Amino acid sequence: MISMILVLNQKGDIMISRQYRDDVSRAAADSFRLQVIAAKETGTQAPVKRIENCSFLYTRHLNMYFVALTRSNVNPALVFEYLFQKIRILKAYLGEDFDENSMRNNMTLIYELMDETMDFGYPQNCAVDVLRLYINLGNIRPQDEPDTSQLTSQITGAIDWRREGIKHKKNEVYIDVLESVNLLLSNTGNILRNEVTGQVQMNTKLTGMPECKFGLNDKLVIEKETNSNRKPGVEIDDCTFHRCVRLGKFDADRTITFIPPDGEFELMRYRVTDNINLPFRIIPIFREFQGQNRLSINMKVIASFASTLFATHVVVKIPVPKNTAKTKIKTSFGRAKYEPETHAIVWRVKRFPGCSECVFGADVELMPTVRNKAWSRPPINVDFQVPMFTASGVHVRFLRVYDKSGYHTNRWVRYITKAGGYQVRI
């Protein structure tokens, strides 16, 4: 596994070094400084470098390099995940924008964290909440010190993301289903790319150590149920989960069972590529008048979601040639103006009702040019947010909370769909 962890500044000087195995030495940092930092490979080459039978895997934070050294055939994803977790832990202790000076002023703390998060080259406990129980900055009060027996079980136990003894006056769970629609339409109206990426964010305020069972309208689950009156489910292509989810149960019967962390966390991510309900249809017509230095734009935008819903912060960027001199714009609602710095007419609508359509028209006067270079016609870009709407059709079927005391839990669910890369070629 990992033989050494190094932290270097932008000059290549070693700030932190922690050796976990004796098959590499600090002299290897000179090779990294000469062949990577001095050669200015960062940002242009892959963050993996093989030098003298030693693999260097690195990432950057501000002007510092976090480098993992190994001579074995490791899983690169595991190594990078550890480096990212290490940076996340340092942000929690030293602040979001920790720099070289704050690293040098907290050497003892950093070496403690290095020893607790890795043992003999194998990543160990990287949960910030658990690390804070026994590694602190000296400001913990005696009455806040945890019991040593609970601390040992917390560190070595299987559930290190949640401590025992949590109490809340109100037991509540907030669920946010956030989706991003990615669309690319050709100038003839054919769909070139169409997918939805989503994530389920949760904020749990639950007492004790409850077990939760979470259900979506997954097609594979609904097909197993014999109720013929139920609506068809959504075919989820792939998904990833928070480490609290019991993957064995999900593989067996597609049920999402977990003991949640306390507070905010991301339960899962998913992707859907079939039967996507696009929130907006865009029909553009561009006409260039040769010899008249004029361009005519007509466009219709149709909202295809329910009339009870509305989209907010709708921004449509309509490209125009770089030699645009003057524009005359008409819209049925919203505001539009020509922005020379972006070479586009930007049309903004604060509130776009569902099942409605809006018409946009513009006459563009162009300055004459010496060279008649053809306009490249960049695509139309659309940005929006639609609350309480999911383009994929995914919705939460249930969330059950099981606890020994059997308390009542309040649940709130919110859906938000926004634009990812929503583009229409012209």
| pLDDT at 151 (0 to 100) | 53
pLDDT of residue 140: 40
C-alpha triplet 183, 186, 187: angle, nearest 5°:
135
Give the pLDDT confidence of 227-240 residue by residue, as tens digits. 556 677 888 888 89
Structure confidence by residue, pLDDT tens digits, 251-301: 888 889 999 999 999 999 999 999 899 999 999 999 988 778 899 999 999
Burial of residue 50 (CB within 10 Å: 0-12, 13-18, 19+) is: exposed
Sign of the alpha-carbon dihedral angle for 245, 249, 251, 254: negative
User: Any idea what the Cα angle at residue 103 is, between residues 36 and 80, rounded to 5°?
Assistant: 50
Please indicate whether residue 1 or residue 206 has the higher confidence score (pLDDT).
206
φ, ψ for residue 42, nearest 5 deg: -65, 135
Instruction: Say yes or no to pLDDT of 131 above 50.
Output: yes
The residue count for the chain = 426
β-strand pairing of 64-70 with 54-61? antiparallel
221, 181, 173: which is closest to 201 by C-alpha?
Answer: 173
**Token pair listed for 7:** 């932290």
Which is nearest to 312 in space by CA: 389, 413, 244, 426? Answer: 389
Q: Which of 123, 146, 124 is nearest to 135 (CA)?
A: 146
CA dist 168 and 165 (Å) reads 10
What DSSP element (H or E) covers 297? strand 294-303
Contact between residue 337 and residue 375 where contact means Cβ atoms under 8 Å apart: no
Cβ atoms of 261 and 244 closer than 8 Å? yes
d(CA 347, CA 329): 10
The yes-or-no verdict on residue 374 having pLDDT over 90 is no
pLDDT score, position 165: 85
Is pLDDT above 50 for 197? Answer: yes
Q: What is the DSSP letter of 104?
A: H
SS3 406: coil
Strands (E), 9-87: 14-19, 48-51, 54-61, 64-70
DSSP letter at 148 equals: H
Average pLDDT over residues 179-193: 93
pLDDT digits (tens, 9 = 90+) for 348-360: 999 999 999 999 9
pLDDT tens-digit series, residues 198-235:
999 999 999 999 999 999 988 877 776 655 566 778 88
* pLDDT value at 68 more than 90: yes
Read off the pLDDT of residues 100-115 as tens digits, 9 standing for 90 and up: 999 889 998 999 999 9
Cα–Cα distances (Å) from 215 to 206, 222, 246, 257, 399, in that order, read 19, 10, 14, 9, 6
Residue 179 pLDDT exceeds 60: yes
- Rounded mean pLDDT of the chain? 87
Q: What percentage of residues in the chain have a pLDDT greater than 70?
A: 93
pLDDT value at 142 more than 50: no
**pLDDT > 90? residue 363:** yes
Helix 76-94 crosses helix 107-117 at what angle (to 10 degrees)?
140
Q: How far apart are alpha carbons 132 and 156 in whole angstroms?
A: 15
Band (138; pLDDT cuts 50, 70, 90): very low
Name the residue with tokens 């560190």: 155
- Which residue, 336, 338, 334, 332, is CA-closest to 320? 338
Comparing 40 with 423, the larger pLDDT belongs to: 423
Helix, coil or strand: residue 239 = strand
- Identify which has the larger pLDDT, 298 or 42: 298
Q: Indicate if the pLDDT at residue 141 is higher than 60.
A: no
Rounded Cα gap, residues 47 and 56, in angstroms = 8
Q: How confident is the model at residue 368 (pLDDT cuts 50, 70, 90)?
A: confident
172: Cα within 13 Å, side-chain hemisphere: 9
pLDDT at residue 154 in the model: 53
pLDDT level of residue 143 (50, 70, 90 thresholds):
very low
C-alpha–C-alpha distance, residues 409 and 399, integer Å:
10
Structure confidence at residue 134 (pLDDT): 76
pLDDT higher than threshold 90 for residue 189: no
What was the pLDDT predicted at 52? Answer: 83
Comparing CA positions, the residue from 179, 173, 178 lying closest to residue 260 is: 173
